[in-house]
Amino acid sequence: MPKRLLGRMGLLSTLKSQFICHLIICYVFLASGILINLLQVCTLPVWLVSKQLFRRINIRLGYCIVSQVVAVLEWWSCTKCTLYTDPASHLLYGKEKAIVILNHKFEIDFLCGWTFCERFGVLGSSKVLAKQELAYVPVIGWMWYFLEIVFCKRKWEEDRTLVAQSLQKLRDYPENYWFLLFCEGTRFTPEKHQASMQVAESKGLPKLKHHLLPRTKGFWVTVQNLRGTVSAVYDSTLNFRNNEKPTMLGVLNGKKYHADLYVRRIPLELIPEDEKECAAWLHKLYQEKDSFQEHYEKTGCFPGCDMSPPRQSWTLINWIFWSCVVLYPLVLMLTHVISSGSVLTIIVAVVVCSAGWFHNTLI
């Protein structure tokens, strides 16, 4: 590789690690997110005229927010996502409603889930089961509210009815969506794994090496309320090459990772309707997921064919568009403030620059 090209790559890598770049990325996301939230509020009267039109508009507005995060992963970090699946299932992805079961071992596994959604055109309409408190968080939480995301309080007595009612409302949703589920309920850590396996031993369940015990009740309620609407469950198992443990900070610093995702399509009619039988089916599924992770550790890849669709340019275009929208007035304001030449302005500029330098030094 030519030295000039290597020098440019080194310069770009250094630029991506600068605190000021991270600040700009966060500002663009938050400022544009608030603007889009306001646009979503303006769509409320549309609900009175046409509920389905309201939903279609908010799918596009939701995409404008979520795709910025996907763009950071795919275009800023240049992380590669390889999909392993079978060709017959691959033809159906994005063309049907589905429940997606994801393992929860990495800090950015939700990002890889959204990337999977983006590659098959269902990012804006994707659904999750989220904590009730998140509904009050600006940008993501408010966006989810308008997208009719299912919220829960993590109190089964209340959630059983609440979640079921929310899921029933999705039965007439106008576009295909994927309902993303982390059945383990929380991210894998050695401490949580040890506690989870103690529970498995007390209940006489097989122990898992790479996963926590799945929470079966939420899965059963989701499947039961979406029967007749959702066509399949996509069992998705994620891992990263070279035993890497990716982080959001690493992504912001422009570090490139390589994610491998193995997806199996399971027709919904194969999942038992009885709650106890469904729970046993899910436990068996997680034993299989454990074996897939064992296979990955030994061979460095998952079974199945590499059917990876290319990254989409729309995420980058959307990110650039909203960056221009929110950065242009900011640049004008800063230019005006700096040109005023006040002592306070100079002090603030020095403090900000010093903070950025100190942050990068610590990293």
Are 302 and 236 a contacting pair, CB within 8 Å?
Answer: no
Q: What is the DSSP string of 10-27?
A: HHHHHHHT-HHHHHHHHH
Average pLDDT, the chain: 90
176 near 95, Cβ under 8 Å?
yes
Contacts of 139 (CB under 8 A, 6+ apart): 29, 30, 33, 34, 36, 37, 65
Within a domain: residue 97? Answer: yes
Cβ-proximal residues to 187 (8 Å cutoff; 6+ apart), any chain: 104, 105, 106, 107, 109
Sort strands 178-181 and 98-102 into parallel, antiparallel or unpaired: parallel
Give percent of the chain with pLDDT exceeding 90. 75
User: Which tens digit of pLDDT belongs to each residue from 97-147?
Assistant: 999 999 999 999 999 999 999 999 999 999 998 888 999 999 999 999 999
Cα 263 to chain centroid distance, Å, stands at: 16
Q: Note whether residue 29 is domain-resident.
A: no
Distance, CA of 336 to CA of 189 (rounded, Å): 50
Range of the domain at 115: 80-311
d(CA 163, CA 297): 37
- Do the strands 258-267 and 232-240 form a parallel or antiparallel pair, or are they unpaired? antiparallel
The Cα–Cα gap between 42 and 30 comes to 19
> How far apart, in whole angstroms, are the C-alpha atoms of residue 28 and residue 320?
10
Give the span between the Cα atoms of 161 and 173, in whole angstroms.
Answer: 20
Structure tokens at 187: 């991210």
Task: Look at the chain and count its residues.
Answer: 363
Tally DSSP H helices, then E strands, for the chain.
14, 8
In angstroms, the CA 85 to CA 62 distance is 28
Query: What pLDDT is stored for residue 9 in this prediction?
Result: 60
* 363 occurs within a structural domain: no
Which residues are CB-neighbours of 52 under 8 A, at least 6 positions away?
172, 174
Percent of residues in the chain assigned helix, strand, coil, to nearest 5: 60, 15, 25
Residue 321 tokens, joined:
């568009």
In this structure, are residues 359 and 19 in contact, taking their beta carbons and an 8 Å threshold? yes
Distance CA 62, CA 58 (A): 6
Q: What is the model's pLDDT at position 112?
A: 93
* Residue type (1 letter), 156: W
- Residue 140: Cβ within 10 Å count: 19
Q: Determine, yes or no, domain membership for 146.
A: yes
Domain of 98: which CATH number? Answer: 3.40.1130
- Contact between 104 and 186 under an 8 Å Cβ cutoff? The reply is yes
| CB-based contacts of 279, cutoff 8 Å, min separation 6 | 216, 217, 220
- How many structural domains are present in the chain? 1
Q: Which residue has the tokens 């309201």?
A: 54
Residue 8 lies in a domain: no
CA-based nearest residue to 40, from 145, 174, 172? 145
Positions of the chain with pLDDT under 70: 1-10, 341-363
Looking at the domain assignment, is residue 21 inside a domain?
Answer: no
Is 211 in contact with 184 (CB distance < 8 Å)? Answer: yes
Give a yes or no: residue 213 inside a domain.
yes
What share of the chain has pLDDT > 70, as a percent?
90
Instruction: Answer yes or no: is 50 within a domain.
Output: no
pLDDT for res 333: 80
- pLDDT for residue 330: 85
